[in-house]
């Protein structure tokens, strides 16, 4: 007997992978900055590491649907990210903090976060509460009425994180979110990451291996646009127990992986 498949069975569910990429190629200018990447990410906090020019920002921009992949398959939250018809629904469930982001300097923190919530088509009635919650979560409660132009670099980045999480995204993409944060704020941010990663897929690019070890459930290492390693922070540290350059086992593990990868490619 042929069973009728109902619409809800085909609709994306929260169980869908956050990111499923196969043979992904993404250009930055003429350069293949992401070059045949296979990557699957589920719920959790994934730390994206790699040397300068590895393709981290280009990958994150493609996952944020800001640039279109040149080749390969890309599914995000169960949606085909290369299909224009999916983009509106998909974008309403994404959060994205770009490496450098534009803003109206005369906006207050609250104006900015509310504006970004509105751009993501959140229901108007929920925007004020969601904005307050996001501002509280990044520790900017007492600066909510301050103009963006008056904030320090670290506070501005926290305002950027607030706009990225205002819609409680299922897929959150953060490109170097800890740049400019003071040590106390970095520790608080790690706590926030753990909470966010409990029920959504969070990808965080950073150069700070120690942040990855402290706050991430797994490590993704890129070099020259390709996946070099995906595994637990403890696996990274184990690789650096007796070998490699760096001040901690994880930093040494990072250098061992890159060295081994480069010697065979």
Interface positions with ligand ATP (CB under 6 A): 28-29, 31, 33, 50, 52-58
- Residue 11 CB, shortest distance to ligand ATP, in Å, is 33
Nearest-angstrom CA–CA distance, 193 and 44: 9
- For ligand ATP, give the closer residue by CB, 31 or 262: 31
- For ligand ATP, give the closer residue by CB, 86 or 206: 206
* Distance set, CA 132 to CA 96, 111, 118, 123, 162 (Å): 18, 11, 14, 15, 9
The DSSP bridge pattern shows strands 226-231 and 201-205 to be unpaired
| Position closest to ligand ATP via CB | 29
- Residue 258 CB, shortest distance to ligand ATP, in Å, is 13
The helix (run of H) or strand (run of E) holding residue 124 is: helix 124-137
- Residue 57 CB, shortest distance to ligand ATP, in Å, is 3
Quick one: which of 227, 246, 228 has its CA closest to 237?
246
Count of Cβ atoms closer than 10 Å to residue 14 Cβ: 12
- Residue 9 CB, shortest distance to ligand ATP, in Å, is 37
* Distance set, CA 54 to CA 32, 51, 58, 131, 172 (Å): 11, 5, 9, 34, 20
- Residue 122 CB, shortest distance to ligand ATP, in Å, is 29
- Residue 215 CB, shortest distance to ligand ATP, in Å, is 19
- For ligand ATP, give the closer residue by CB, 50 or 197: 50
- For ligand ATP, give the closer residue by CB, 31 or 149: 31
- Residue 99 CB, shortest distance to ligand ATP, in Å, is 6
Q: How far is CA 225 from the centre of its chain?
A: 17
- For ligand ATP, give the closer residue by CB, 65 or 108: 65
- For ligand ATP, give the closer residue by CB, 34 or 151: 34
Count of Cβ atoms closer than 10 Å to residue 217 Cβ: 18
- For ligand ATP, give the closer residue by CB, 140 or 258: 258
Structural tokens at position 246: 């760096």
Nearest-angstrom CA–CA distance, 251 and 239: 10
Count of Cβ atoms closer than 10 Å to residue 158 Cβ: 25
């Amino acid at each position: 007997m042929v069973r009728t498949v109902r619409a809800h069975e085909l609709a994306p569910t929260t169980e869908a992978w956050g990111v499923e990429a196969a043979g992904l190629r993404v250009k930055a200018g003429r350069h293949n900055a992401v070059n045949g990447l296979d990557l699957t990410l589920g719920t959790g906090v994934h730390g994206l590491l790699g040397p300068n020019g590895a393709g981290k920002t280009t990958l994150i921009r493609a996952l944020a649907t800001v640039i279109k992949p040149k080749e390969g398959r890309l599914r995000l939250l169960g949606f085909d990210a290369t299909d224009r018809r999916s983009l509106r629904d998909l974008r309403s469930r994404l959060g994205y903090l770009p490496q450098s982001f534009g803003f109206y300097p005369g906006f207050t923190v609250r104006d900015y976060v509310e504006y970004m919530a509105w751009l993501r088509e959140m229901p108007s009635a929920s925007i004020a509460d969601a904005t307050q919650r996001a501002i509280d979560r990044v520790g900017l409660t007492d600066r909510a009425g301050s103009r963006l132009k008056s904030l320090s670099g670290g506070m501005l980045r926290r305002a950027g994180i607030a706009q990225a999480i205002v819609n409680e995204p299922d897929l959150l993409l953060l490109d170097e979110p800890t740049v400019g944060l003071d040590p106390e704020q970095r520790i608080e941010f790690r706590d926030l990451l753990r909470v966010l990663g409990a029920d959504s897929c969070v990808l965080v690019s950073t150069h700070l291996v120690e942040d990855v070890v402290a706050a991430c459930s797994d490590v993704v290492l890129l070099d020259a646009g390709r996946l070099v390693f995906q595994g637990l922070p403890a696996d990274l540290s184990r690789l650096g127990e007796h070998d490699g350059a760096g001040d901690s086992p994880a930093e040494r593990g990072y250098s061992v992986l890159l060295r081994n990868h480069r010697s065979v490619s």
